[in-house]
Every structure is written in C-alpha cells, then in structure tokens.
C-alpha cells in the first residue's frame, strides 16, 4: 500500500518532459524579451500602434483555452457530447487565432512595419511568429486528441486522461505565454 501511495505522489515522466520542454521554451522567450529591452534602450526605435486585430486574436486564444479545459473536464466526467464539441471548438478557435495573427501581420505591414525596416518591427514579428510556431505544435496535439475522440471507443481511462492532460497543459502554457508577450509588447512599445 505504501508503495502505491508513493507512486501516486510522483509526476508522470511524460508530464515531467512536457514541463521541462515548456521551461526551455520559457527561457527562450525570456532571452528574446531581454534582447528586445536591450535593443530598445539603444535608441533608433520605431514606435507604432499595435493593430486592434491582435486584441481580438488574444481573446480568441483565451476562449480556445477555456473550451479545451471544458472538454477535458467533460471527458473526465464521461460527458462525451460536451467533450467532443468543446474539443472541436477549441481547435477551430486555435486555427482562427493563426488566421487573425496573419491578418495582424498584414495590418502591421500596411502601416509600414516590416521585417527589413526598424528592429522594433522585426522583434514584433519574431516574438509573435515563434509563438505561432508553438501554437501550431499545440494544434497538432489537438489533432491527435481529435483523432482519439472520434476513432476510439469512448472510455475514460487513466492513460487517456494523462494524454489529454498533456495537451491541455501545453495549450494553457501557449495561452499564458501569448498573454505575457502581448502585454510585454503593449507596455514596451
């Protein structure tokens, strides 16, 4: 009995690996934002207004995270219909976030903020673009979750809960990371 309790208090190796990877990603973005601050203090910094579409895309990403969390809770409580519908909604909103980010980049370009111009614009594209790559990774994980949802017989098992929990944890990480980046870009512009 003591051995079983001891094992339950330890983090699963897959979750540990995910958290280690997220820590590495966080360190990378900390380096990017640190470089941004250093470069900004050097002068010759183009100030521009962040297009409103980025506010909308931020809201879409947050709502996507809410739906994914709702899907996870529904899965754990064996509510198959809510689980599947919320998972699809979270995925569609994640794709919409990507579309809106692209439209935001087009809006930036239309006001003269491009990659070859001032370094401030380059940093904006770098931060939002690398984040978008991580969102694509989260969407790929959601595709796998969707495949499981629609091809496997519905059953709530510890293994499936752990797997889905990894997807949810990563997506929440990507959400929080974007909120940090967006606030950072707003207050340092």
Q: How far is CA 91 from the centre of its chain?
A: 12
Full-model pTM: 0.90
pLDDT tens figures, 67-87: 999 999 999 999 999 999 999
**How far apart, in whole angstroms, are the C-alpha atoms of residue 129 and residue 154?**
36
Count of positions (residues) in the chain: 189
> Would you say residue 7 has pLDDT above 50?
yes
> Would you say residue 126 has pLDDT above 90?
yes
In the chain, count of helices (H) and strands (E)? 6, 0
Average the pLDDT over 24-42 and give the result.
Answer: 94
Could you tell me the two tokens for 138? 């989260």
> Would you say residue 15 has pLDDT above 80?
yes
User: What residues contact 178, with CB distance under 8 A and at least 6 apart?
Assistant: 58, 61, 131, 135
User: What residues contact 88, with CB distance under 8 A and at least 6 apart?
Assistant: 146
Quick one: pLDDT at residue 6? 53
Domains of the chain in start order, with CATH, are 52-187 (1.20.120.80)
Are 59 and 131 in contact by the 8 Å Cβ rule? The answer is no
pLDDT tens figures, 146-166: 999 999 999 999 999 999 999
> Would you say residue 46 has pLDDT above 60?
yes
Alpha helix segments (H runs only) across the chain: 2-8, 13-41, 53-76, 80-110, 119-151, 158-187
């Amino acid at each position: 009995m003591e051995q079983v309790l001891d094992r339950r208090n330890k983090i699963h190796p897959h979750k540990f690996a995910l958290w280690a990877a997220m820590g590495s990603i966080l360190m990378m973005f900390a380096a990017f934002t640190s470089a941004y601050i250093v470069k900004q203090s050097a002068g010759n910094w183009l100030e521009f207004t962040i297009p409103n579409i980025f506010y909308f895309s931020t809201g879409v990403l947050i709502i996507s995270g809410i739906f994914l969390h709702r899907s996870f809770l529904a899965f754990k409580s064996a509510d198959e219909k809510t689980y599947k519908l919320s998972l699809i909604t979270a995925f569609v909103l994640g794709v919409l976030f990507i579309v809106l980010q692209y439209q935001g980049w087009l809006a930036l370009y239309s006001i003269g903020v491009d990659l070859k111009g001032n370094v401030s614009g380059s940093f904006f594209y770098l931060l939002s673009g690398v984040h978008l790559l991580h969102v694509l990774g989260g969407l790929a994980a959601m595709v796998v979750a969707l495949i499981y949802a629609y091809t496997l017989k519905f059953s709530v098992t510890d293994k499936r809960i752990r797997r889905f929990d990894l997807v949810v944890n990563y997506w929440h990480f990507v959400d929080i990371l974007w909120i940090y980046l967006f606030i950072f870009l707003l207050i340092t512009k």
